[in-house]
Amino acid sequence: ELKVEQNPLFLSMQEGKNYTIYCNYSTTSDRLYWYRQDPGKSLESLFVLLSNGAVKQEGRLMASLDTKARLSTLHITAAVHDLSATYFCAVATDSNYQLIWGAGTKLIIKP
């Protein structure tokens, strides 16, 4: 059974700092997704990682996937307040018809 674990679950940081959110999963998969959710809002797609070694960057966010280690990271560079949100990773099952989600990382960036 595929399980997805994110850590940390909560992160409070200062503007300008760098940090990394980790997403570990328990069985083989080569499809991993990162989403952002603002309070009271829906989910917005950030990155789709579809192969081992995939790296995607958008602004201050960079995501990578290591399928051998079953690990994805979401790196935040020089954080700004606007990046405060909850970040979820989700992993596709073997069938590719389902996504299993992590519990989310609530990120608070203080000015």
Q: Which residues bind another protein (CB under 8 A)?
A: 4, 9, 31, 33, 41-45, 48, 50, 88, 90, 92, 95-104
- Which residues have CB under 8 Å from 57's CB, separation 6+? 63
Q: Which is nearer to another protein, 41 or 110 (CB)?
A: 41
For the record, the structure tokens of 41 come out as 């809002």
Smallest gap from residue 66 Cβ to another protein (A): 20
Nearer to another protein, 12 or 45 (CB): 45
Q: Pick the closer one to another protein by CB: 83 or 87.
A: 87
Q: In terms of Cα–Cα distance, which of 109, 13, 90, 80 is closest to 47?
A: 90
User: CB within 8 A of 109, min separation 6: which ones?
Assistant: 12, 13, 14, 15, 79, 80, 81, 83, 84
49: its two tokens: 């990682």
- Please tell me the total number of residues recorded for the chain in this structure: 111
Question: Least separation, in Å, of the C-beta of 71 and another protein?
Answer: 17
What is the nearest approach in angstroms of another protein to the Cβ of residue 16? Answer: 29
Q: Which is nearer to another protein, 18 or 96 (CB)?
A: 96
